Structure 1
């Protein structure tokens, strides 16, 4: 009986483990292998070494995608973190109607990025969106056509992404704020510290793990951003909002450059690992210290 109890959890988890092993890790290895081959429309196994990677970084569209990822990622992480922290601090004041306001902030995260991108595409369209609304109200000099402007289109992706994710970040920070020991806060208040000083010098520094978790989640979402960009701008105007995920799809399935597309996927995976691995290491190290 004891032997059965020992093996039963393993038997229950075995199918899931096998599926993950095959359809996640095995396909990652397969993609890595294809990135070193001359695969085009279909997989091919002619070994070309690092030729696809050399070609990848010589492509103007890939460099544009990296620049856009840097702009989008930095603004997305910074604005979401700042806005989420501000909203969390406001809700932490035990304001009336918190139970009603909190779900409103969280609601956008319940939507898919496709829905968010489509909705914001309508909002930002000069012909039917915000600009047209202000024109109908008599403010004919108002212009907000960033979604049609190559120089500003990437910032519309930031706006839509921040709208969707800031509520989720707020929930993370709010949970962190509610977990701070009240005795420490009371001691600081007795010493005459102002609320601003308490948050700046005591509470926010104690929330370092929450900031790190929020950074990891947001950075991961930024690197693999695809559906939001496709729904909102389609990667345009031209290729002004191209990001690595849209580049990888277009070169693999549209331009029939599977080897180059696979190499871009591996670069994206390295980006994700460069964020996840240090985070896991720090978490394991802090767990061992405890």
Structure 2
């Protein structure tokens, strides 16, 4: 009897959470997929129209703009965050005396919500009260930094804020990977006369391939579902210069009352995330089996 209780108590404790996840996560995903194939507008509808919403979606200029912005934002966000995170990790890996102080400073931005980050950077980048106004007050009247008001440059302000938020987290991932490298290999390379730069380029960084892959998956996931940072920083503007799929989905579902089109964009975003996560899980399982 005691053994049976030990077996069933954990299942009973986890059952409510499992049921809630099953309904409110996977159930709503399936429901969104159903809505994407109906003529739902302000309210859900059972008027089945198949893939018409998907065809309409890819004919919308706003959606194509959102995809282009996502490609640019995602590439720069992932590349800069990865490079900066790696550089910071290598810096801290040198056993510098101030590591205990610098590490939490670099990690602090990740503790903030994207709403706070977006609002703070909106103030910093606003020409009237931010960096430009400060430089003018210091006497540098010719200084200009109005990217947040410029349609062609506004998307880069989103990149700046996102990189500031995430690079410390990426640094922590790379630092854990660096601390896991076998020191005997590094000592052998040093005895052979290899420079620090060559050791990192030829030995350390290639050994950290799983960390690079994990960082890519995390950052790509954050880029695809980026919403609150954009809303707080630029509101998707000026115009639609910083429109991303997540902001498009919200506006078409709740502002334009095109629930079917909004649901179809949400499913496309889900497919994007799956296209990243599934190969990652496959590679992890394959590497685990090989061990």
Give the whole-Å Cα distance in 2 for the aligned partners of 1:107 and 1:66.
Answer: 30
Deviations 1:105-131 (A, max 9, x none): 000000000000000000000000000
Please name the residue that 2:196 is paired with. Answer: 195
User: Residue 272 of structure 2 aligns with which residue?
Assistant: 271
Report the 3-state secondary structure (helix = DSSP H, G, I; strand = E; otherwise coil) of the residue aligned with 1:58: coil
Runs (4+) of structure 1 exceeding 2 A deviation are none
**TM-score, normalising length: structure 2:** 0.99
**What secondary structure sits across from 1:151 in the alignment?**
coil
Deviations 1:175-196 (A, max 9, x none): 0000000011011111111110
Pairing 1:249-260 to 2, within 5 Å after superposition: 249-260=250-261
Q: Residues of 2 paired with 1:112 and 1:245: CA distance?
A: 17
Residues in 2 aligned to 1:60 and 1:256: alpha-carbon distance in whole angstroms: 18
Deviation at 1:11, TM superposition (A): 1.1
User: Which residues of 2 match residues 76-91 of structure 1 at below 5 A?
Assistant: 76-91=77-92
- Displacement of 1:247 in angstroms is 0.2
| Structure 2: segments with no counterpart, 5+ residues | none
SS of 2:58's equivalent?
Answer: helix
CA distance in 2, matches of 1:158, 1:92: 27
Residue 5 of structure 1: how far off its partner (Å): 1.2
Find the counterpart in structure 2 of residue 280 from structure 1. Answer: 281
Residue 139 of structure 1 aligns with which residue?
140
Q: Which residue of 1 aligns with 2:122?
A: 121
Q: 2:282 and 2:5 mapped to 1: Cα distance?
A: 35
Looking at structure 1, the residues matched to 99 and 233 of structure 2 have their Cα atoms a distance apart, in angstroms, of 32
- Write the distance in 1 (CA, Å) between the matches of 2:11 and 2:147: 54
Question: Which runs of structure 2 are paired with 1:42-121 in the superposition (5 Å)?
Answer: 42-121=43-122
The residue number in structure 2 matching 1:208 is: 209
The CA distance in 2 between the partners of 1:50 and 1:21, in whole Å, is 26
Q: Which runs of no fewer than 5 residues in structure 1 stay unpaired? A: none
